[in-house]
Each structure stands twice: as structure tokens, then as C-alpha cells.
Amino acid sequence: MSDRFAEKLRLKRRRSRWRIAGVVLLVLVVSAAVWAIWFSSLFESREVTVSGTEHVPVDRVVRTAEVPLGTPVLRVDTEAIAERVATLKPVESVKVERDLPHTIRIVVTERDAVAWVDRSGTPWAVDSSGVVYRPLNSRPRHLPELDVDVEDRRVVAATARVAADIAAGDRDLLGDTDTITAETRDSIELALSKGRTVVWGSAEEAQAKLSVLRPLLQIDARSYDVSAPERPTTLE
């Protein structure tokens, strides 16, 4: 075997040993990183932060979240935390984030009231989906009352949807609406100022009903019927 060939063989073996050593070192580094992040106390959850709350106390959110402090942040079940926080009635949606090295962030979006209902003399806020979610200190003058059977969730949802549609489409009409009444989902009526009423019907075709109601209210009448928006009528 020539000296040149032997030298090439030694270099090849040396490079092979370095490659093996590099692979072993990489495996060790990755394993150490995985252990540190997933199993050690270096990245354990130590802090919970809450944002987006206005009416729900932060400590109540934290208690409900039940974040397992001391657990490595990446092993914390954020979906389970979000599901627990979402059980709070004033909460519409929740996002839970991991923030290394030690923090779990809970971002809350609260419900917005579009109307209110009376429960044993206490006004309660109602959101656009008909969820009755928190007591109010006083009757809000800027929102209509839903004069419905609070236990009938379908009627509450239908009337709340009407309140939300009016709020989105005609703020002036919302301010002029004192009460939204209904015995069924198809018998919704608006009680306006000056003793006027609007027969709304079902919660469907809100935009069409708003479009025909605007000019219809220019007519001096006691009652306006837009339940069939293609055939609106008034009653003197």
C-alpha cells in the first residue's frame, strides 16, 4: 500500500469519526433541549396573565382556568384551559397562549350587550346570540328591553338577534326602541317612543325590513307592519 493511499484512508476515517461525533453531539444537544423544555423546571409555568376583561374579575378567570403551575409551559393543555374559561357566562371567546419561559397568557373577549331582560326586578345584559350573561346595576337607557319569557331560549335568541340587527343597521331606531316583545319567534314587535309599535314578525329579512321601515316611519301612524317587507302597511 502506497504512502499516498494510506494517508487518504486515514483522512477518510478521520472525517468519518468527526461526522459520527457531530451526529452524536447533535443528538445530545437536541435531547438536552427537549429535556430542558419538556421535563425540567427551567421552563415551568410560574405566571398567568389575563387580558381583555372588563366585567369578569381577573382572579375569577385565573381560578376557573386552573393553570397547572409548575408544569413545563409546552406541556400545559391550553385547549383545556380555554374550555374552562369559556364556561364563564360573560366570556364570548378565549385564546390561551404559551409565552416562554414561564408564562401562560389568557386573552378574553367578553360578550357585548344588545338588549336587557328583567329577572326578578334585576336587569340582565343579553348578547346578540340571546345569552343572558350578567346582572346590571341599572336599566340601560341606550338598549331596548326584551319583554319575553326569559326561560324560552329560542324567543330570547330571536328578539336579541333583532336588537343586534337594528343596532348594526339603524342606531337611531335602536335609540327609539323602548321594548322588543314576543310570545313566539314569529310574533316580534317593537315598542317605539310616542306609543308607536312596529310589527316585525320573525327575525328574518332584517335588512329589507329596516329599508322599508325608515320611510314608513315618516307617516304619522300608531302602528307599522313590516313583517312582510314587500307589503308594508300602517295603521292610523
pLDDT for the residue 3: 59
Q: Would you say residue 162 has pLDDT above 70?
A: yes
pLDDT for the residue 217: 94
Domain that holds residue 227: 113-235
pLDDT tens per residue, range 115-158: 999 999 999 999 999 999 999 999 999 999 999 999 999 999 99
Which residues are registered as beta bridge partners of 47?
A: 103
Strand bridging mode 177-181 / 145-147: parallel
Residues 135 and 185 reside in one and the same domain: yes
Mean pLDDT of the chain, nearest integer: 89
What's the mean pLDDT in 175-184?
96
pLDDT for the residue 189: 98
pLDDT for the residue 43: 82
Residue 230: how many CB atoms within 10 A of its CB?
A: 8
User: How many structural domains compose the chain?
Assistant: 3
pLDDT tens per residue, range 163-175: 999 999 999 999 9
Which residues are registered as beta bridge partners of 19?
A: none
What's the mean pLDDT in 59-75?
95
Residues 117 and 229 reside in one and the same domain: yes
Q: Domain containing 93 — which CATH number? A: 3.10.20.310
CA distances from 173 to 167, 179, 201, 214 (A): 8, 12, 17, 9
**Higher-scoring residue by pLDDT: 5, 203:** 203
pLDDT for the residue 9: 55
Residues 77 and 127 reside in one and the same domain: no
- Which residue, 56, 89, 110, sits at the end of a domain? 110
Residues 15 and 33 reside in one and the same domain: yes
**Higher-scoring residue by pLDDT: 20, 90:** 90
Residues 98 and 139 reside in one and the same domain: no
- Which residue, 90, 110, 130, sits at the end of a domain? 110
pLDDT for the residue 157: 97
Radius of gyration of the chain (CA): 32
pLDDT for the residue 19: 66
Residues 51 and 85 reside in one and the same domain: yes
**Cα–Cα distance, 37 to 20 (Å, whole number):** 26
Residues 130 and 197 reside in one and the same domain: yes
- Which residue, 110, 128, 160, sits at the end of a domain? 110
Residues 126 and 225 reside in one and the same domain: yes
Q: Would you say residue 7 has pLDDT above 70?
A: no
Whether the bond into 68 is cis, omega within 30 of 0:
no
**Cα–Cα distance, 177 to 166 (Å, whole number):** 9
Strand bridging mode 223-225 / 113-119: unpaired
pLDDT for the residue 235: 85
Residues 155 and 200 reside in one and the same domain: yes
pLDDT for the residue 26: 62
pLDDT tens per residue, range 86-115: 999 999 999 999 998 999 999 999 999 999
Residues 223 and 125 reside in one and the same domain: yes
Residues 130 and 203 reside in one and the same domain: yes
Which residues are registered as beta bridge partners of 235?
A: 223
Predicted TM-score of the model (pTM)? 0.77
Q: Would you say residue 201 has pLDDT above 60?
A: yes
pLDDT for the residue 145: 97
pLDDT for the residue 25: 59
Residues 5 and 85 reside in one and the same domain: no
